[in-house]
Structure 1
Amino acid sequence: MTIPNQKHANLYRSLVLNSGDAMYLFNLDGKLVEVNKQACANLGYTREELLALSLFDVDTEYKTKEKLLEFFSILNREKHYKQTTYHKRKDGSTFPVEVSISLLNENGNKLILGISRDMTDHVEAKQDLFSYIDTLEKIHQITLISKDIEKMISDVLNVVQEVFKADRTFFISSDNTKDQFHFPPVEIIKPGVACISIFDENEIANNYRQELFEKRKYPGNNTFVSTYSEPEENKSYIKDLYIKSEMIVAITITNNTDYLLGVHDGTKIREWSQLEKKLFIEISRRLEDTINRLHYYHHLKQSEKKYKTLFENAPLSYHSLNSNGNIVDVNNTWLKFLGYKKKDVIGKNYGDFLHPDWKHVFETNFPKFKACGYVNDVHFKIRHQKGHYKYISLQGCTGCHPDGTFEKTYCVFQDITSRKKAEDELKDSEERYRLLMKQSPFTVEIYDLNGLQISVNKAYEELWQIPKEITLFKFNILKSPQVRSTGMLNYIKRAYAGETLDIPDHKFTSEIEAGSIYKSQSRWLRTRVYPIENEFEKVTHIVLVHRDITDQKEAQKALRKSEGQFKTFVQRVPIPLSLVNITNGKIKYLNDRFLNTFGYTLNDIPHLDDWSQLAYPDPKYRKWVMDNWEKAVDYGIKHETDITPDIYDITCKDGSIKKILISGIVLGDDFLANFIDLTVQKNTEKELIAAKEKAEESEKLKTAFLANMSHEIRTPMNGILGFADLLSTPKLSGEKREKYIKIISQSGERMLATINAIIEISKIETNQIVKCISQVNVTELLQNQLLFFLPDANKRKITLRVKSLLPVDESFIFTDYTMLTSILTNLINNALKYTNSGSITFGCTKKNDLLEFSVKDTGIGIPQNVQKSIFERFTRVDLENTKAIEGSGLGLSITKAYVELLGGEIWMESEKGVGSQFFFTIPIKG
């Protein structure tokens, strides 16, 4: 230890000599080198007397130099050391101390610095606490086992007189209580004390009893304390009754003060401590609990009528058991307390509701209960309907048949979970506080009345990345510039005044002295500050508990940035969007594209009704649209899927009409609708209808041509060969030659189409078809099929619709897009081909790890004799107008092959004249 200059040396010496803790500086021989004023005051010596002594003279632990050397070896390993011991005063008395010891190096000389703190008050407080607990345990045992009421109260008063060293203790009930449930008045007077009883029938005692119940006020659960230095004019009984100090607490059973518990000291004016008051109140509460139980026990024993009244109105939980221990009746308080319904408990064995550790207690003691006729304050751990357990204290008696045999029990119990918890917490509070400080994930700091930091936990060091020695006993929260500038100082001062406060979220930078090897850290904190009070309710310290919310603040910042980006994306997305509340129909949001497409602003259409009036001016069409949309939204909510898309004619603000595909998703109480403009596409489709009709006509001719493959191959072949021979006829005219050549050419083309279909089948049968796997949006594919076939269906006046669309998160699979498209196209095309009127429905559902597709029509159906071979090559339905829909019969055969290549299977159901339904499956994972 080096002192830089004389000024600092004087300052250092002043601080040491005037410190509130006793300080001793001694050498390795134990000789005292220096002491401060507090050390002299603690030991009763002058400074000169102490400096003439050694450590062996004042410390009862270290009596030999060997012990001191052992102590010195510890300090060589550790910089600081703390222990508890006893110091001896000049008068020979000893007292407990806690000593913090450090090894100093003064110009090469090793010295030991000891800082001691008098622990007398701490030890006495701990002893008082143990006495407090021991007293309550004695009271508990008395009220638990006593069967005689008067003896129970007398035993309690004896304990009270012993603990409080009182001259008189008494228990008295009010006049109105006597009419209900009378406890005999009990008074214990210390032997050798000459005084009259407060229960004497004379004017003095009567006046005192009258004042106790009629004139005094006993607020809440507080004690009434009074002292009498001189007898007052209207209180002459003070001297005769031998009272100089009294402490009285009310025991309230009804809304009135029913009983009083009191102690008198007749020898001196006495100041009752806060701990004595709290103990006195707790004793009264134990008596109150016991009296409550006795009250109800008394009423239960009066008569069946009184029992029934108590059963129906009792604030305590009640149950009744038969001779087997099964529950035959419970009241509403019992059911409410444990969360059961009556049907769940009647007839069940009581032991089934107890904790396993308590079940054998019930089974062992229930026969004893039946034989004895009553139980008092029996503790059980009973199971709540939700699975947790509650502590109860049970009292009860038995009822008998007219012949004297056992009938059932009458039992009440009260919840003592909180009391058990309080008792356990009282015993464990000191240890729990220590563990809390050590293991708490929150940062904890404790400051003394001067604002000096005196204790922190491990989380504090981890938060600021510094050892606690950097700030401990150095940082003063009342003098911190940062605390002042951030406004925290006002909260700190209010905590010192006794308030518990939450400080608003704030950013704090650790204050580290210049030149330190540790860097300052800045963290966002959420802080609660609260005071610590002593038994006199005086603030002695304040505690700050911090929660590090830096990550949360950063996340909020990132979230705000993300929300801004998302809002920009939604506003600029090239698809019109609207957000509508499902419950009230209020339109909450429209993006820019919506305005550009339809011309309406949110002021034009604040509600869904406003939108329907403007977008669908025709009343009939409007009703159809709104009904259709409402059904789609309800379906989406019920099945938790997207809103089924549909095409509507929408009138824009400028009067133009657009064909719009509307779909959407349900978002809680809202739905997000998106609008796809199909106006240009629909106009283009009209222009393509003529070409499509020609293509369909050509397809019909081709399918009719392949109606009978043997005929289709033989006929053109015969034409080719036959007319080729005719070309060699001599003297053949030019006109006939051209005619024969044309017939040969047509026969060749007809033959080529048949061969192409056969080649596709041949590729399939020789495994020359190669799959191309990619991610496919099944919902989008089905919607495209709808859009593709819808014009053809409308032309045929056939209703074409999609059902059972997959949810968005299940719509994507891996498969061959071309094959899947070809399969659906063939099946929907066949349905259209063989359906003259009605509807065609197709869609997809998920079944385990497969997707099942279906195409259903209301067409001509398939005869029974054809159904078994419908997927075979060259098979088709026999029709009267074969030319109109003739074909090779290869389409379903190719479709079946594609399904099997994708790992699925295909089948159908049909009834002639009713319609057909084709099914096929493919795996979800390809």
Structure 2
Amino acid sequence: MDGMDIIALLSLPIAVIMAGLWLVARQRLRAHAAENKETARQIRSMVAATSEGFWVIDPVTKVSLDVNDALCVMLGYGREEILGKTPLAFADEANAAIFKEQTGKIGTTDHRTYEITLTRKDGSALPCMFNATTLRAEETREAVAAFAFVTDLTQIKASEAELRDIHATLEKRIEERTARLRESELRFRRLYEQAPLPYQSLNAEGRIIEVNDAWLKLMGYGRLDVIGRPISQFLAPGQETLLEDRLPRFLKEGDIHDAEFRMQNKTGDTRIVSVEGQIGYEESGDVRQTHCILTDITSKIEAERELRRSEEKYRRLVEEIQSEYFLYSHTVDGVFDYVSPSVTAILGYRQNEFMTHYGEYLTDCALNDQVMAHTEAAIRGEKQPPYEVEITHKDGSVRRLEVAESPVTDESGRVVAVEGIAHDVTQNKEAEARMLRTVEELTQSNIELERFAYVASHDLQEPLRTIISFSQLLSQKHASALDDEAKEYLEFVAEGATRMSGLVNGLLEYSRVTARAEPFGPVKVGKVLDAVQRNLNESIVESGVVMETDDLPEIRADGMQIGMLFQNLISNAIKYRHPDRPLVIRLQAERRSSAWRFSVADNGTGIAPRYHARVFEIFRRLHSPSSHPGTGIGLALCKRIVERHGGRIWVDSEEDEGACFRFDLPFEPQETPESDESGSRLPPDPSIE
């Protein structure tokens, strides 16, 4: 064999190479047996040294002619146990038919390769690859021998089985992972669809790929109305330039934070949104889509805008009232470390002059005794109510300030300072003092006027009675001496005196509301009303009045005056009854939060709304004395009685539709009797009976 033959052999499969070597050897052995003994020995050595099994088979009988050691080891048999037997004798039952078919072809085909399972001596299976080659004579092409290389596939089969197991495990894991991914995707989609915050996804061109329900609710559109449309179509006018700037930066940088956009919903309303987003990429690195969460901050922006307006308003307010207020803060030791510039207008000190202990400015008065207690409470962290102090002005005058203070704490909660605002109330206090003096003077004047009215009305009774009596005597005893004109004049005198007597009596009753008032005590209104109806029984019967009364409560009041109140209201209803319908008077009481509300309603002639306030004025009449006699004091007296009890009275009425007088009487009336200069109750004049 030369070098070219060896190179050619190396390029062939091992089985073909070995078979070829054996064929060459046999041919040369036959032709040159003596010369090639050494070559045959070398080939046998090569076969014996290979790790694969080598089997020499008779191509006709199919019996084993020779085997190498490797095959004996594979099968577990000795050489003598294999020789003379066909390979079929070592096939397992499951493969016997196939092996018989394949070995039957040995000698008829040049080369066959197939997998087969043989049975070892110990009964175990030996999976192997059977590579059979037939050797032929060069001249006759007659099969002279057959060779088979047997490759042990046990490890390969084990590896294949392991790989199959691994593959099955991987397939199972992939299926499980896919199922989890599908489930996760489903959960994510549900979360995404039901997320409370609006979500939108855009492609690289800025067109909408997907939005969730919250986005649709924010913008007022249906899903089909928005998918595929440019996001710019949903921006408020003027926002396109902002989008053209931010979208390329977003796509380049990969994320976006706190980007504010104004979007316009379907109804045309503008919504301000803050955008947070990231880019989703393809495996190639190209942009797949954006993922953006939108937060509607319209209310927040409007609140901030309103806060700025409020702050500006507050700033202007502070600037406008700086002549009356100044801000300050002092340490826990009481030393001022800040004061606003307006302190100069109020106290005359420049800011730097005021930076001392607050005690330097306090006057020596009882009002300032509380200052230290308030300051110590503020240093303990207690919020203090406003209190007043007296401060010395730089010019030596005294100023009264109302201060409100709050503690200032650090992160640990420790009080480190006290902040406050001071209001110059000097002029207010002086005005209050003047007002109190005026009230005292007016109170004294009212006392004197009421006393005068009481005395005057009492003293006028006597001359009026005299005028009336003598007028009547003159008419009776000297009627024959008087002509008709004189008699008419006497009637005018008597009528005028009688009417004046009524006015004086009314004025006397009006003044007695305070001058002869009784202390408040328990009053059963129902019993008072019974007494009033007895007093008015004749008028009630003559007028055919129907009285309707609910259960009336017990109150704390002046019983005599409550009787006068109801008597005047019922008399008023009888006087102004409607001529075309029977008079019905209904009295009711309703318990309110702090008072009893009484009502006296009738179906009489009523009162036009323009007169509702005027009917309670003293001596105010809406009708002539000839049509409705009276003094015009009754309702004024009712108003005075109600007000003396701390209540109020009013009327609801329309002309020709009846009237309803309502009044409130507090559960606990605060009696404020008129007083003389000493503050005691005004005593009745001893000269007045």
Q: TM-score, normalised by structure 2?
A: 0.34
Higher relative contact order (CA 8 A, sep 6+): 2
